[in-house]
Amino acid sequence: MKASVRVRTIGLFLVLGAGISPAWAVGAPAVYKIDPSRSNLHGSIHYTVLGKYEAQFQEFGGTISFDPKDLPNSSVQLSIKVASLKSRFARLDRAVISKRLLDARQYPWITFTGRSITRVGDHFQITGEVSLHGIKRELTFPFQLQGPWKDQKGNALLTAQGTWIIRRKDFQVIWNKLLDQGGVIVGDHVTVDWKVTAVRRADPGSDR
């Protein structure tokens, strides 16, 4: 169930709903580091036996470089550890990350490199490349953003969220060569609902 992370992983940044904080009005792109402890990637796919298979990736990370006044110079890097997928069904998790499906041994990471951010009305959308199961494809999706604001230590925080939808067969993730023809047992599309908090340390050097 390769969390089809269609999240152009993190294209994580859709704009908060209206304005951009004055803190973003000047300077070069600020680099924010994703904090997994305050973030989540929740994937789901239709599975006849359960109704829906739902799981989360527990190990992931990356950075967001964002400048609202210079969107072409903004970017996103996201890496997700395939073997960290966990649900309430351990046996099913093992099947999903096995050679039969995601093959975590041969393809241990799902990555997203966002290279083009544009403004669309009151939000942003990002276009980039997703690498999953040894296959690379371009993906575009919208995201919402809140922040930046500062915590008690003076660190700047951003929270972005959105939903990715990925067609697993585009990445050659096949449940059963015969039964998969109609997608009856396992759905064709994986939905990933994500919410990410990224941090820019008070000392810029600590992010590197």
pLDDT at 23: 42
- Mean pLDDT over 106-112 rounds to 95
57: pLDDT strictly greater than 90: yes
Higher pLDDT, 141 or 185: 141
Q: Which residue has the tokens 């209206």?
A: 18
pLDDT at 8: 36
Instruction: State the Cα–Cα distance between residues 5 and 164, nearest whole angstrom.
Output: 6
Task: Find out whether the peptide bond into 204 is cis, omega within 30 degrees of 0.
Answer: no
pLDDT at 184: 56
133: pLDDT strictly greater than 70: yes
Instruction: State the Cα–Cα distance between residues 160 and 14, nearest whole angstrom.
Output: 6
- Mean pLDDT over 136-148 rounds to 87
Q: How many CB atoms lie within 10 A of CB 136?
A: 11
11: pLDDT strictly greater than 50: no
pLDDT at 55: 94
Task: Find out whether the peptide bond into 142 is cis, omega within 30 degrees of 0.
Answer: no
Higher pLDDT, 142 or 22: 142
Please state, rounded to an integer, the average pLDDT across all residues of the chain. Answer: 79
The 10s digit of each residue's pLDDT in 164-204 is: 888 888 888 876 555 555 555 777 888 889 899 999 976 65
Q: Tell me the CA distances in angstroms from 129 to 101, 116, 119, one per residue in order.
A: 21, 10, 19
Count, residues in the chain: 208
- Mean pLDDT over 83-94 rounds to 94
60: pLDDT strictly greater than 90: yes
Instruction: Kindly state the percentage of the chain with pLDDT values over 70.
Output: 78
Higher pLDDT, 3 or 57: 57
Please list the residues that pair with 136 across neighbouring strands.
131
- Residue 94 tokens, joined: 């093992």
Higher pLDDT, 69 or 14: 69
CATH 2.60.40.10 is held by the domain 8-207: no
151: pLDDT strictly greater than 50: yes
The 10s digit of each residue's pLDDT in 13-47 is: 333 333 344 444 445 788 999 999 999 999 998 88
How many Å from the N-terminal Cα to the C-terminal Cα in the chain? 33
161: pLDDT strictly greater than 70: yes
- Give phi and psi for 93, each to the nearest 5: -60, -45
